[in-house]
Structure 1
Amino acid sequence: MSSTLTERDHDGVPTTGGDAVVRTRGLTKKFRSGQVAVDGIDLEVPRGAVYGFLGPNGSGKTTTIRMLLGLVQPTSGEALVLGGAMPRSAVAVLPRVGALVEGPAFQPYLTGRRNLDRLDAVDMTADPRTSKARIGAALERVGLSAAAAKPYRNYSLGMKQRLGLAAALLRPRDLLILDEPTNGLDPQGTREVRHLIRELAEDGASVLVSSHLLAEIDQVCTHVGVMSRGKLLVQGERDVVTSGGRQSGERVVITTLRDHVDGARRVLARLAGVDPSSASEAASVEDADHLGDGAVTVTATLGGASLSDVAPALVAADVLVLGIGTDRPSLEDVFVELTGEGFDVAR
Structure 2
Amino acid sequence: MTTAPGATATAAAPAPAPREAHAGAVSDDAIRTRGLTKRFRTGQVAVDGIDLLVPRGAVYGFLGPNGSGKTTTIRMLLGLVAPTAGQVHLLGAPMPQAAARVLPRVGALVEGPAFQPYLSGRANLARLDAVDASADPRTTRTRADAALERVGLGAAADKRYRQYSLGMKQRLGLAAALLRPRDLLVLDEPTNGLDPQGTREVRHLVRELADAGTTVLVSSHLLAEIEQVCTHIGIMGGGRLLLQGTRDHLTARRGSRVMVRTPQADAATALAELRRLGLADATAERPAADGSVTVSAALADDTGADGDLPAPQDVAGALVRAGAGILAFDVRRPSLEQVFVELTGEGFDVTR
User: Among 49, 73, 77, which residue is 1:68 paired with?
Assistant: 77
User: Among 145, 150, 166, which residue is 2:159 paired with?
Assistant: 150
**1:260 to 1:71, Cα distance in 2 relative to 1, 3 A:** same
Deviation string for 1:272-297 (max 9, x for gaps)? x44xxxx8x56332347xx6344432
| Distance in 2, Cα, partners of 1:254 & 1:97 | 49
Q: Tell me by how many angstroms 1:83 deviates.
A: 2.5
In structure 2, the partner of 1:284 is 283
Listed as ranges, the gaps of 5+ residues in structure 1 are: 8-15
The 8 Å contact of residues 35 and 50 in structure 2, kept in 1 or not, is answered as yes
| Distance in 2, Cα, partners of 1:265 & 1:316 | 14
In structure 2, the partner of 1:299 is 296
The 8 Å contact of residues 287 and 294 in structure 1, kept in 2 or not, is answered as no
**1:43 to 1:312, Cα distance in 2 relative to 1, 3 A:** closer
Secondary structure class of the residue paired with 1:335:
helix
Number of positions where the alignment pairs a residue of Structure 1 with one of Structure 2 = 325
1:152-231 equivalences under 5 Å are: 152-231=161-240
Deviation string for 1:145-175 (max 9, x for gaps)? 1111211111111111111111101111010
Q: Does residue 265 in structure 1 map to residue 271 in structure 2?
A: yes
Q: Tell me by how many angstroms 1:251 deviates.
A: 3.6
1:303-322 equivalences under 5 Å are: 303=304, 305-308=310-313, 314=319, 319-322=324-327
Q: Does residue 119 in structure 1 map to residue 128 in structure 2?
A: yes
User: Among 319, 324, 344, which residue is 2:349 paired with?
Assistant: 344
Q: Does residue 26 in structure 1 map to residue 35 in structure 2?
A: yes
| Distance in 2, Cα, partners of 1:81 & 1:18 | 9
Answer with 34-43 or 149-158: which moved more.
149-158
In structure 2, the partner of 1:324 is 329
The 8 Å contact of residues 320 and 326 in structure 2, kept in 1 or not, is answered as yes
Q: Does residue 106 in structure 1 map to residue 115 in structure 2?
A: yes
In structure 1, the partner of 2:260 is 254
Q: Tell me by how many angstroms 1:130 deviates.
A: 1.9
Secondary structure class of the residue paired with 1:321:
coil
**1:244 to 1:307, Cα distance in 2 relative to 1, 3 A:** closer
User: Among 91, 101, 106, which residue is 1:92 paired with?
Assistant: 101
| Distance in 1, Cα, partners of 2:289 & 2:115 | 62
In structure 2, the partner of 1:11 is none
The residue type equivalent to 1:71 in the other structure is: L
| Distance in 2, Cα, partners of 1:184 & 1:294 | 53
Secondary structure class of the residue paired with 2:285:
strand
In structure 2, the partner of 1:57 is 66
The 8 Å contact of residues 67 and 87 in structure 1, kept in 2 or not, is answered as no
| Distance in 2, Cα, partners of 1:175 & 1:267 | 49
The residue type equivalent to 1:170 in the other structure is: L
Normalising by structure 2, what TM-score?
Answer: 0.84
Listed as ranges, the gaps of 5+ residues in structure 2 are: 1-11, 16-24
The 8 Å contact of residues 254 and 323 in structure 1, kept in 2 or not, is answered as yes
Deviation string for 1:288-315 (max 9, x for gaps)? 7xx6344432223263655455656655
| Distance in 2, Cα, partners of 1:208 & 1:319 | 47
| Distance in 2, Cα, partners of 1:27 & 1:168 | 25
The residue type equivalent to 2:338 in the other structure is: D
The residue type equivalent to 1:100 in the other structure is: L
| Distance in 2, Cα, partners of 1:180 & 1:90 | 24
Q: How large is the RMSD of aligned CA atoms in angstroms?
A: 2.6
Deviation string for 1:314-343 (max 9, x for gaps)? 556554434322211111111111111112
Secondary structure class of the residue paired with 1:146:
helix
The residue type equivalent to 2:240 in the other structure is: K
| Distance in 2, Cα, partners of 1:316 & 1:244 | 27
The 8 Å contact of residues 14 and 33 in structure 2, kept in 1 or not, is answered as no
